[in-house]
Amino acid sequence: MVDVDDKKNILVITIDCLRDDRLSVSGYHRKTTPFLDSLTSYTPAIAAAPWTFSSVPSILTGLHPHNHGAAYPDDSSRNQDLSNPPNGIQDDVPTLAELLDSVGYETRFITAVGTAAIPMEGRFKSVKRRHDADAEDVLSDIQQWWNTTSGPKFGYAQLGDLHEPLHDPPTEYFEEIPEVDGIDRWRFTSGDIQNDEFERYRSARGLLYDTLLRYVDEEVERVLDELAELEDTILVVTSDHGEEFWEYKSFEEEHFEDSRGISGVGHGHALVPPVLEVPIITNLESISGSTTRRSSTDIVPTILSEMDATVNVEFDGEPLQESSTGETALLSQEIAYGPNQISVTEGTEHLIYVPTTDSSVLIDFETGEQIDDPEIKSRLMNYVPRERATGSSVELSDDVQKQLSDLGYAE
């Protein structure tokens, strides 16, 4: 299935809920990510899905959800009924871990966000959930495994510090975070929210998010300083999706349906830019970095290309080592709440399509302004997938259901 000429070690760190425009390398006004800024290459990307369950499989298979199968079986409304979860990855679709395992790699998957582990059970030699663990704990775990494992290895760590519920940061890097009720959870999720209390909450919530991101950046730097054999390691830091802070609240209320009656916050609910744009950061000199958006499905092909691997598996993504013209249509799909949505992004043109109502809306990805152009809509609709893979069945234990509820995925 795979032949690898140069067996490098591989470490993928996924920072859950990290939106691209909060990195200081993206021009953000706070210095949130000084260490990540210093790594070799940075590329903005579109997440293949707006929530963890479908997005992490895309990061680890190089396929979109309609091809890997880790998704709901149809486009009807989703309400996070934990007794009827989405399907897992299709049985005959290999992950990067399985490809590498076939040529002698040791593999480990650890996550603070239980949702990420569900479709990965049986795909890595070791899958570990560390529910509620902070970045220090998760990265120390992967560090201990890494430094005591011989031979080629592939480690994957998913950090949950930016995911609801937010925890208290160990240090206030920027300024003192105000004491605001319920700051660890999303509030002001529906109705008229324009008042002084909302403004205090929004400011404090944003500061807490930025502070935790600075903490995560510091922890990533710490663990990389302590990892053995790092000079012969492929490092990728990315996110499975971003996070919305009310930017598209009224737009979503006009165009989409959320089964929870929530709009404007978090992720999983709509294919809007703050939820979709994520970074791909590497230590690879073969990647020059670019401001042209790519796809999270490009990560697996990039890693395999760096190792001069020969693979008889097809991917939706392409290696970042290969330049893009910027005219490539980038897909995202599989929302978690309400009827499914599919988006197509080409340059600054962003189409969001709702299959159940056969309706669509076109916006400028940079400004959010709606665009009335039937020709552009028609062209982008040609990229919308019409068929989907059938994933494997999934059963959730009581412990996993409790973790998902705590993460805000179900009542």
pLDDT at residue 184 is higher than 70: yes
pLDDT given at position 140: 97
Structure tokens at 175: 């300024």
pLDDT given at position 335: 95
> What digits encode the pLDDT tens for the residues 98-114?
999 999 999 999 999 99
Q: Is residue 121 part of a domain?
A: yes
d(CA 186, CA 193): 13
Please tell me the total count of domains within the chain.
1
> What digits encode the pLDDT tens for the residues 298-356?
999 999 999 999 999 999 999 999 876 555 899 999 999 999 999 999 999 999 999 99
Q: Is residue 184 part of a domain?
A: no
Three-state SS for 196-226 is: HHHHHHHHHHHHHHHHHHHHHHHHHHHHHHH
d(CA 380, CA 113): 34
d(CA 400, CA 300): 27
Q: Is residue 411 part of a domain?
A: no
Which of 16-20, 127-131, 398-402 has the weakest average pLDDT? Answer: 398-402
State the amino acid at position 396 in one-letter form.
Answer: L
pLDDT given at position 325: 54
pLDDT at residue 226 is higher than 70: yes
d(CA 171, CA 178): 14
Domain that holds residue 107: 2-177+209-406
Q: Is residue 40 part of a domain?
A: yes
CATH number at residue 28: 3.40.720.10
pLDDT given at position 355: 96
pLDDT more than 70, % of the chain: 94
pLDDT given at position 391: 86
Mean pLDDT, the chain, as a whole number? Answer: 93
Q: Is residue 353 part of a domain?
A: yes
Q: Is residue 293 part of a domain?
A: yes
Q: Is residue 165 part of a domain?
A: yes
Q: Is residue 161 part of a domain?
A: yes
Measure Cα distances from 219 to 34, 43, 161, 233 in Å: 12, 21, 11, 18
pLDDT at residue 78 is higher than 90: no
Chain position carrying tokens 């919305």: 244
* Closest-CA residue to 47 (of 242, 209, 287, 237): 242
Helix, coil or strand: residue 105: coil
Residue range 142-162: mean pLDDT, rounded? 97
pLDDT given at position 406: 67
Which of 117-131, 170-184, 213-227, 394-408 has the weakest average pLDDT? Answer: 394-408
